[in-house]
Amino acid sequence: MPATPLKLGELSAALAAIGGFETKPFIAVAVSGGPDSLALTILADRWVRQRGGRLIALTVDHRLRPESAEEARTVRGWLATRGISHHVLVWTDPKPGTGIQEAARAARYRLLAGWCREQGCLHLLTAHHREDQAETYLIRRRAGSGVDGLAGMSAVREMAGVRLVRPLLAVPKARLVALLAAERQPFLSDPSNRNPVFERARLRLDDSADDDARIDRLAEEVHEFGRQRIERERALDRLVASAVSLHPAGFAVLDPAAIGAADADSVEKLLGRVAACIGGAPYPLRRERVARLRAGLLDRPERARTLGGCRFVPWRSKLLVLRELAGAAPPARLEPGTELLWDRHFSVAAPRAMMPGLMLGYLGQYGAVGHPSPLAELNAGDLPRLIHPVLPTLWDAAGLVAVPHLGYSRAGAAALPLISLRPVNPLSHAGFTVV
């Protein structure tokens, strides 16, 4: 039986289930020119117009094939006839010799998310569909992924300043192609999608992967893993809320009693999440290392331990988690009127009127560059002194300028940078979403 075209009402229902859109939404849609992304763009544009909002279609030209620029212009022409605004983002960086698909994917999302942040667009839609979800599940299963990975792609993924929304994960590709046929809309075909060098392409060339009944079974498995993941995430979020306090100075306080009452798997996930938050690790910590930390904390709770760039230190019946100074980023010179994210932890906004020559580092780093230790001169306030070496600190050629979290600033120091805790690995994040 021929596939029926996807209807606007079905997309509307999926987006309503996801939620979180403005009354007059401003959204971006990633469109390659293939059938999936073109179908999503056409329907999403109608959905936005019904609500008085605005849609921009974004094409990333990776410059990996000679014809890519012409293809982007073709997509622009197709969308122009429908009154859909279109913008091309070009990947101009040098191309790696290996891992090209992974590098291209990372560049694509970096460019798309960067454009959205610059334009104040909070929602980036992509056209991942049912077969994409099945391929992701098969790849992860072959790789021995854990149960969370087997839940596949989430319908919502939080990125810096924008969320990635995948409303078509339950929609068969054939229904998207059928929509374009009904619209008499041509589309492009990417030859890399049929290149057996790449794992996803090999799955697409496997005849069994195109069996609808099999894909339906895989979708049911993915959905069940997704439901289980949601339950586990909610339990972990409750544990984090009851057992962890995060201080604006960049350290965490754990309640051993709340941790001791939880099961081993939940405790290890909590410890891994806290270590990733404070230590800023770019990759997930190895489960065996987190398991060793949990066992060590139970066996010898009076001992300090390290993991992922963090120190776990007993303190007044609590457990402090603070940045390990040896693994921290080096001090950074601040320029007036600029912003930066330092040590994957702190967002720093330097006003234009800021005094020149300021350095940002940790208090312990200030002493390490030849300055006398200022610890004895500073008021400890409510913070334990063992935290002092990893407090954000400002200095210049004349000496110490400010330790904001101790309330200290040098007489006459004005227009100082605003330092805010903004870890790249937050303690809490958007929950896994199934639609």
Q: Are 339 and 352 a contacting pair, CB within 8 Å?
A: no
Does residue 397 belong to any structural domain of this protein? yes
Q: Which of 3-12, 258-267, 302-311, 317-326 has the lowest mean pLDDT?
A: 258-267
The answer to whether residue 372 scores a pLDDT higher than 80 is no
pLDDT at 370: 56
Does residue 60 belong to any structural domain of this protein? yes
Does residue 70 belong to any structural domain of this protein? yes
Q: Are 70 and 60 a contacting pair, CB within 8 Å?
A: no
180, 210, 240 — which closes off a domain? 210
Q: Within this chain, do residues 49 and 176 fall inside the same structural domain, yes or no?
A: yes
Number of domains in the chain: 3
Does residue 432 belong to any structural domain of this protein? no
Report pLDDT digits (tens) over 338-348.
999 999 999 99
Of 158, 143, 105, 131, nearest to 222 by C-alpha is: 131
Query: Measured between alpha carbons, how far is 330 from 155 in angstroms, rounded to an integer?
Result: 38
Q: Within this chain, do residues 309 and 337 fall inside the same structural domain, yes or no?
A: no
Confidence of residue 207 (pLDDT cuts 50, 70, 90): very low
Q: Within this chain, do residues 389 and 337 fall inside the same structural domain, yes or no?
A: yes
Domain span at residue 335?
329-421
pLDDT at 381: 64
Does residue 2 belong to any structural domain of this protein? no
Q: Within this chain, do residues 61 and 199 fall inside the same structural domain, yes or no?
A: yes
Q: Within this chain, do residues 300 and 370 fall inside the same structural domain, yes or no?
A: no
Confidence of residue 191 (pLDDT cuts 50, 70, 90): low
pTM, full prediction: 0.78
Which of 172-186, 248-262, 411-425 is modeled with the greatest confidence? 172-186
Q: Within this chain, do residues 18 and 143 fall inside the same structural domain, yes or no?
A: yes
Count of beta carbons in the 10 Å neighbourhood of residue 302: 6
Residue 172: how many CA atoms within 13 Å on its side-chain side?
16
Does residue 431 belong to any structural domain of this protein? no
The answer to whether residue 205 scores a pLDDT higher than 50 is no
The answer to whether residue 320 scores a pLDDT higher than 90 is yes
The answer to whether residue 202 scores a pLDDT higher than 80 is no
CATH code of residue 13: 3.40.50.620
Does residue 113 belong to any structural domain of this protein? yes
Report the mean per-residue pLDDT for the chain: 90
Q: Within this chain, do residues 129 and 242 fall inside the same structural domain, yes or no?
A: no
State the greatest distance between any 2 C-alpha atoms of the chain, in Å, as a whole number: 81
* Interval 313-339 mean pLDDT: 95
Q: Within this chain, do residues 62 and 167 fall inside the same structural domain, yes or no?
A: yes
409 residue type, one letter:
S
CATH code of residue 262: 1.20.59
Q: Within this chain, do residues 260 and 354 fall inside the same structural domain, yes or no?
A: no
Q: Which of 94-98, 136-140, 394-398 has the lowest mean pLDDT?
A: 94-98
Q: Within this chain, do residues 31 and 146 fall inside the same structural domain, yes or no?
A: yes
Q: Are 403 and 391 a contacting pair, CB within 8 Å?
A: yes
The neighbouring-strand residues paired with 418 are 349
Q: Within this chain, do residues 321 and 377 fall inside the same structural domain, yes or no?
A: no
More confidently predicted of 195 and 98? 98
Confidence of residue 211 (pLDDT cuts 50, 70, 90): confident
Confidence of residue 367 (pLDDT cuts 50, 70, 90): confident
Which of 179-188, 227-236, 421-430 is modeled with the greatest confidence? 179-188
Query: Measured between alpha carbons, how far is 58 from 114 in angstroms, rounded to an integer?
Result: 12
Report pLDDT digits (tens) over 84-115.
999 999 999 999 988 898 899 999 999 999 99
**High-pLDDT (> 70) share of the chain, %:** 92
The answer to whether residue 201 scores a pLDDT higher than 70 is no
Report pLDDT digits (tens) over 31-87.
999 999 999 999 999 999 999 999 999 999 999 999 999 999 999 999 999 999 999
Q: Within this chain, do residues 53 and 182 fall inside the same structural domain, yes or no?
A: yes
pLDDT at 54: 98
The answer to whether residue 209 scores a pLDDT higher than 70 is no
Does residue 433 belong to any structural domain of this protein? no
Ramachandran angles phi, psi of 125, nearest 5°: -95, 140
pLDDT at 208: 46
Residue 407: how many CA atoms within 13 Å on its side-chain side?
5
326, 356, 391 — which closes off a domain? 326
Q: Which of 76-90, 110-124, 307-321, 418-432 has the lowest mean pLDDT?
A: 418-432
293, 326, 359 — which closes off a domain? 326
The answer to whether residue 164 scores a pLDDT higher than 80 is yes
The answer to whether residue 371 scores a pLDDT higher than 90 is no
* Interval 151-180 mean pLDDT: 95
